Amino acid sequence: MPSFHHDGVDLHYEVVGTGAPVLLVAGLAADSTFFAPALRALAARFSVVTIDNRGSGRTQPMEAPGSIATMADDCMALVRHLDLNRVSLVGHSMGGMIALECAIRHAERIDRLVLAATAPYAGPRNNDLFATWVQLYPAVERRLWFRNLFHWVLSPRFLANTASLGALIELAAMYPHQPTARALAQQVAAVAGFDVRARLAAIRAPALVIGGARDLLFSLDDTAAFAAALPSATFAAIDGAAHSFPIEAPDELSRRVVAFLG
């Protein structure tokens, strides 16, 4: 599995497909496998780069400290490592925050942004919720922890399919590259320390902001307002989908990404 050393960590990454480069950045407690349902469709059109953020997946040491800015610098170090001039970013949730930071700190490297189920800051309610997840993570059985998580990030329609929900819980609970409790806590602290509302006007890259109509973490109204605050952004909603719509609506996500970047 490919990796490269940067700023004290060995960052795991993969590249698949051919075409214009697109970097996928996953969110809190997730790694590059989060985008697996959409990867085939995207790789048919683009050279797709995936990265395991510090604190997740196969990037080591997992418990290396970092902020959203640090993870943005990791992403851009990977872009340089792959000898790419410019890249488009697709970031989900915390990954969207990382993409925003990349667009501010490394504007010369960014072509376009797809910001999925994300915001320029998490807000007090979400930060308290995420801190609660950190407390529960080592304290409860892992299947129960994921069941609770999925009730926050998946739609009622998805949750009503008990077979699919049970399979997803089992897959997540048995995944061999889960974050440690400390790594999860450090990612949550990174999100809590992130706020670029005052810097959005500096972002010049064209952006597509996508919200899930049933998202409980970042409401459709808030996501639309976020898009309106960007200098050059288009807003789109995915009907019926919740926060983790790359899982439950990967074809719709891929279609919108291809249309925007293509």
d(CA 2, CA 108): 26
When pLDDT is cut at 50, 70 and 90, the band that residue 190 belongs to is very high
Cα distance between residue 51 and residue 10, in whole Å: 11
pLDDT on residue 159: 97
pLDDT at 165 over 90: yes
Looking at the predicted structure, is the pLDDT value of residue 248 above 90? yes
* Residue 106 pLDDT exceeds 80: yes
Confidence of residue 203 (pLDDT cuts 50, 70, 90): very high
DSSP 202: G
For 65, half-sphere exposure in the C-beta direction (CA atoms, 13 angstrom radius) is 1
Full domain range(s) for residue 239: 3-261
Task: Pick the closest to residue 53 from 26, 93, 76, 24 (CA basis).
Answer: 26
Structural domain total, the chain: 1
Q: What is the CA radius of gyration of the chain?
A: 17
Percent of all residues in the chain with a pLDDT value above 70, rounded to a whole number: 100
pLDDT of residue 27: 98
Q: What is the mean pLDDT of the chain?
A: 97
Residue 16 has pLDDT above 80, yes or no: yes
Per-residue pLDDT for 1 more than 80? no
Would the pLDDT of 47 be above 90? yes
Q: Is the pLDDT of residue 139 over 90?
A: yes
- Among residues 250, 218, 228, 230, the alpha carbon closest in space to that of 94 is found at 218
* 245 closest CA partner among 205, 207, 218, 206: 218
Q: How much is the average pLDDT of 81-99?
A: 97
User: What's this model's pTM, rounded to 2 decimal places?
Assistant: 0.97
**pLDDT value for 262:** 84
Contacts 24+ apart (CB under 8 A), 120-129: 120/195, 120/196, 120/197, 120/200, 120/226, 120/229, 121/194, 121/195, 121/196, 121/197, 122/191, 122/192, 122/194, 126/191, 126/217, 126/218, 127/188, 127/191, 127/192, 129/217
Q: How confident is the model at residue 32 (pLDDT cuts 50, 70, 90)?
A: very high
- Domain of residue 105, CATH code: 3.40.50.1820
In this prediction, residues 15-27 reach a mean pLDDT of 97
